[in-house]
Amino acid sequence: MTRPQSPTDPYAGPQRPSRPAPGDSHRTALVVALIGAAATIVAAVIGLFVQLSGEVEQSGSRPPLGGASPASDTPGVPDDPGAPRTSGPPSASTAPGVSGPSDGAAIAPAAVGVPEEFLGRWQGYAEEVDATRTDHYRVTVELGGGTRREQVGSIHYAMESSDCYGVVTLTAVGGGDQVTLGEDIQSGNCVTNGRITLTLNPGDSMDFAYESTKRDGTRQSVEAGLERVA
Strand ranges (E), the chain: 120-129, 134-143, 151-158, 163-173, 178-187, 193-201, 205-213, 219-228
Q: What is the pTM of this model?
A: 0.53
Residue 222 CA to residue 225 CA, distance in Å, equals 11
What pLDDT is stored for residue 98 in this prediction? 45
- Give the C-alpha separation, 48 to 40, whole Å: 12
Residue numbers of the domain that contains 56: 25-62
Residue 172 belongs to a domain = yes
| Within-domain flag for 54 | yes
Q: What is the pLDDT of residue 61?
A: 52
pLDDT, one tens digit for every residue, the chain (230 residues): 444 454 554 445 555 555 555 555 555 656 556 777 777 786 776 777 656 666 545 555 554 444 433 344 444 444 454 545 545 444 444 444 444 444 555 565 566 899 999 999 999 999 987 767 788 999 999 999 899 999 999 999 999 888 999 999 999 999 889 999 999 999 999 999 999 999 999 889 999 999 998 888 888 899 999 999 99
- What's the CA gap between 53 and 46, in Å, rounded? 11
- DSSP-assigned beta bridge partners for residue 210: 196, 222
Q: Are residues 55 and 155 in the same domain?
A: no
DSSP β-bridge partners for residue 208: 198, 224
Sign of the C-alpha dihedral, residues 71, 74, 80, 83? negative
What is the domain count for the chain? 2
Examine the domain organization and report whether 38 and 120 are in the same domain: no
Q: Are residues 125 and 223 in the same domain?
A: yes
**CATH (domain of 159):** 2.40.128.20
